[in-house]
Amino acid sequence: MTASTQVHRRTHVKADGRKLFLYGWRPHELPLTEELEPGPAPQPHLRWHPLRGEWVGYASHRQERTFKPPAEFCPLCPVQPGGFPGEIPFADFEIAVFENRFPAFHPDAPAPPELPIPTAPAKGQCEVVVYSAAHSGTVAGLPAERRELMVRVWADRYRDLLAMPEVAFVMPFENRGEEIGVTLHHPHGQIYAFPFVPPAVAPLVEAFRKGPVLTELRDRIGGAYDIAGNDRAVAFVPPCARFPSEVWIMPRAFHPGPWTFDDADVRAFAAVLGEVVARLDGLYGKPMPYLCILYAAPRGEEAHFHFHIQIYPFLRTADRLKYLAGCEQGAGMFLVDGLPEQMAARLREVTP
Ligand SMILES: [Zn+2]
C-alpha cells in the first residue's frame, strides 16, 4: 500500500515570531505544549574577502548555541505537556521545520557594520528540518513513507524559499556525526537560503550552462559505478570522487529540483536515498559521518541545472577520519587514498 500523496502542513508561529511547520501524511491537530523563551535577535552580516572574491558570514550570537545537550534536554524532541520546553512545542509530529534560532541568514538581517572592507546584510533564511519525533535513528532507519515525506518537505521548502526576492540559492543539507562537529544528535538536517550563489556552487552552474554534464557523465560510465538504483533514480560513486566512498544520487530524467517530481519520482528517489545511507552505514558497521548536500537549480538556472545529491563521507577506514588538510584547504585540490572503482565495488557488496 502506498501512502496518500496529499501532504498536510500546519503553520505555528513561535513565541519569538519564528515560523514552525508541521508536515505529515495526516493532519497535525495536537495542542500546543511548552514554548522556549525567545532567543537573542539574529544579527548576521557578511564581509567581503578581497583575495578570494567571496563573502564570509559572521553571526556572533551563534557562540551561544546549544552544544551537545543530554537527551532529556534535546531542543528537537517533541515537548510533552509540562515538560522541558524545546523548539517543537507539540507532543508528537511527523516532520517539523522551523526557522533556526541562530541563523547565518535572516530576512530582517540588520545593516552590517561599516569596515575598511565591503560588508552586506546577511539576508536570507536558515531552517532546521527534524526528520522524526524519535531522538535517535537515521534516514536509513525511517519508514519509506517518512523518507518520501522528507523529499516532499524539501520540495515545499524550495518553493517557499526561492519565492523570497532576496534568495538566489537554496541548499538543504545534513551534517551527520559527532566526528564532524554535529552538536545535536536528534536526526535532523538544515536548509540555508542564500542571497547569492555560493562559491562551491558557481562551478556547477557554469558546467550545466555549457551542457548536460551529469547525464553525459552517466552515459560515459554506464552502470559500472552504480551502488543503488531503480527506473527513476540512481546512486553511484563518481569516478572523480573527492572523498572516500563519496556517493551521488540523481533522478535519471532531468529535474531542476525535487519540486518538479511526480509521485513516482518521489518514491523512487526516497528509496535510493534510504538504500545509500544504509550501504554507507554498513561499510564499516557503524553510522557513517558525512555531509549530505542537495544541489538544485539556483534561481534562473532551472532550464539546465540537473538536481542531485552529493554525499561526502569522512571515514577512510573503520577508525580513520579524512581530514581536509594543507592540499585540500590551501590549494583546493583533493587527495584520496582509495580508488572510486574499488569503493563502488565495496559499497555494492554491503548488505543494506
Ligand atoms: Zn531529541
Residue at a domain's end among 139, 173, 197: 197
Place of cell 548488505: 351
283 contacts 289 by C-beta, under 8 angstroms: no
Instruction: Look up the domain containing 171 and give its range.
Output: 1-197
Give the tens place of pLDDT for each residue, 27-41. Answer: 999 999 998 888 888
128 lies in the same domain as 65: yes
Could you confirm whether 306 is annotated as catalytic?
no
37 lies in the same domain as 71: yes
Residue at a domain's end among 197, 228, 250: 197
* Short-list 247, 238, 197, 198, CA closest to 220: 238
Give the pLDDT confidence score for residue 62 in this predicted structure.
56
137 lies in the same domain as 219: no
Check residue 16 and report its DSSP letter: T
Give the pLDDT confidence score for residue 3 in this predicted structure.
47
Neighbour count for residue 260 (Cβ, 10 Å): 16
151 lies in the same domain as 36: yes
Q: Tell me how far apart the alpha carbons of residues 233 and 257 are, in angstroms, rounded to a whole number.
A: 13
191 lies in the same domain as 310: no
User: How far apart are the CA of 130 and the centre of ligand 1, in A?
Assistant: 9
61 lies in the same domain as 187: yes
**Spans of the chain below 50 pLDDT:** 1-3
> What's the structural domain count of the chain?
2
Give the pLDDT confidence score for residue 38 in this predicted structure.
86
Distance of CA 52 to the CA centre of its chain: 25
Residue at a domain's end among 173, 197, 221: 197
Q: Tell me how far apart the alpha carbons of residues 16 and 10 are, in angstroms, rounded to a whole number.
A: 18
211 lies in the same domain as 301: yes
The four Cα atoms 49, 51, 54, 59 give a dihedral, to 10 degrees, of -20
Element (H, E) at 251: strand 247-251
142 lies in the same domain as 186: yes
Element (H, E) at 50: none
User: How far apart are the CA of 249 and the centre of ligand 1, in A?
Assistant: 28
User: How far apart are the CA of 70 and the centre of ligand 1, in A?
Assistant: 9
Q: Which residues pair with 193 in a beta bridge?
A: 125, 170
What predicted TM-score, i.e. pTM, was given to this entire model? 0.95
269 contacts 233 by C-beta, under 8 angstroms: yes
Q: Of the residues 45, 186, 188, 255, which is catalytic?
A: 188
User: How far apart are the CA of 178 and the centre of ligand 1, in A?
Assistant: 15
3 lies in the same domain as 33: yes
Query: CA end-to-end span of the chain, whole Å?
Result: 22
Whichever domain contains 52, its CATH number is 3.30.428.10
Written as one string, the DSSP assignment of 252-315 is SS--SSGGG--HHHHHHHHHHHHHHHHHHHHHTTSPPPEEEEEE-PPTT-TTT---EEEEEE-E
130 lies in the same domain as 261: no
80 lies in the same domain as 222: no
Go through 310-333 and write b for each residue having 16 or more CB atoms within 10 A of its CB, e for each that does not: bbbbbbbeeeeebeeeeeeeeeee
Give the pLDDT confidence score for residue 5 in this predicted structure.
72
* Short-list 258, 226, 186, CA closest to 340: 226
User: How far apart are the CA of 15 and the centre of ligand 1, in A?
Assistant: 20
175 lies in the same domain as 210: no
